[in-house]
Amino acid sequence: MLALQQTPLPELPTARSPVTITAATLPDGRDGYVYDGNPVPPVIRVVPGAQLDVTLINAMTLPSREPCVMDPCVQATNLHFHGMGVSPVGYADNVLGLSARPGDTLHYAVDVPRSHAPGLFWYHPHPHGESDRQINDGMSGAIIVEGIERFAPAVHALRERVLVFRSVHDTAAARAALDSSVPTCGSEPEAPELAWTINGVAEPSIDIAPGERQFWRIVNASGDGFLDLALDNASWEIVALDGSPLVGPPSMAQHVSLPPAGRLEAIVTGPSAGAALRTRCVDTGPDGDPAPAMVLAHIVAGTGQSHLPPSSAISRRQRIPGAARAAQRRRPEAIVTFTEDAGGFYINAHKYDPSDKAMFTVRVGSFAHWRIMNHTREVHPFHIHQVHFLTPDALWLDTVTVLDARNPVIRGLSVFHCHMIRHEDKGMMAKVLFTG
């Protein structure tokens, strides 16, 4: 059982290129990332225009001590640089062409465009059939592309915290963390089985003085857990979502929904001591997994003194190009339909096979209008590699419907899929070709 610890929120190690990470089998039988001799994945920081050099060593043991969604596990692994607008070919974000078996080493050289948006991204393995197990074992870490201060100058003087949320399959710990004051919100028949850690600790304490402002950068690094984050007696002053800065006046929210792979960057103002960071109940549908309200962390009084005013910027609407608005009004160029049955999970009635050809082609330099349809009785977070989507409420997200394919570096064969990773492992994925 996951042991609860009243432990201060750990600071994660920071790394800059070149970075070496080892995928290894840990003493408890799980597989994880080891960096600088410790089983704690680093926060990798990079500036636009630089090359991200990462060496991935596969030192996992065979046979695997854990089952995979699609056995047998061969302990293959690789890296996906989630949300980043980088190349899907060569030694970059190439999840289709790069794979390391135990004993192999991969050397990534990812060119980050000078025009790349600043913000929070993350890295995780993407071997088909084994991704769910590896991600839920904790094989992931945050990536920060520097420069968010250009969009939110106030964050420059604030204490920055990186919070990596991971889910743990532990029914007893999940029940212990339940917020009993909040009724369940869904019709899922199963008992909750996901508990949460933040930077590897269950229910840590986070120090922030009443009235102090801090800059929190949060990633939901779960393979299949949903969060709806709220901080007692405080609001989120949203700076960015899914690595996409909001350039309008700060967006204030009492709670923020983060599906698996979702990211939130926000300024928080310290509430009184004794407050808690919580996830509200999320209704994932009658066939989904329970996501009840839980206590995630406890607020304790810090010694900070920051009372800087909120940042200001131009209207968010000025970020949406006219060509994107025009694409929204066009007939969809692609219709993506999610279905499932006892045999697996499907996109347009097809279960993914590595030998598949591209299901759709997108011309680089354009905006494409896609329609995503869910014909199941559970929530499926939709993710496409290399690009962001424009949502109807004028947010650019990478996990949700206009596709921004203007970036010339994304040419090549890539994938889109449900980011409930076990659904992806069981077939809910397809290829897309960025061409032109």
Contact 124, 93 (CB under 8 A): no
- Give residue 390's pLDDT: 76
Tokens standing for 135?
């991600």
pLDDT tens, 162-190?
Answer: 999 999 988 888 888 888 777 778 777 77
How far is the C-alpha of 394 from the C-alpha of 402, rounded, in Å? 10
- Give residue 4's pLDDT: 47
- Position of tokens 């000025």? 318
Q: Which has the closest alpha carbon to 142: 161, 160, 122?
A: 122
Q: Which has the closest alpha carbon to 61: 25, 32, 17, 97?
A: 25
Tokens standing for 401?
């419907």
How far is the C-alpha of 298 from the C-alpha of 281, rounded, in Å? 18
Contact 68, 134 (CB under 8 A): no
Q: Which has the closest alpha carbon to 201: 176, 233, 165?
A: 165
Length of the chain (residues) = 436
CA 169 to chain centre: 18
Tokens standing for 387?
């690009």
Which of the residues in the chain have pLDDT under 50?
1-5, 308, 310-318, 398-400
Q: Which has the closest alpha carbon to 240: 318, 311, 140?
A: 311
- Give residue 327's pLDDT: 85
- Give residue 205's pLDDT: 95
Residues in Cβ contact with 101 at an 8 Å cutoff, skipping those fewer than 6 apart: 58, 74, 75, 76
Tokens standing for 361?
């082609």
3-state secondary structure of 153: helix
- Give residue 395's pLDDT: 60
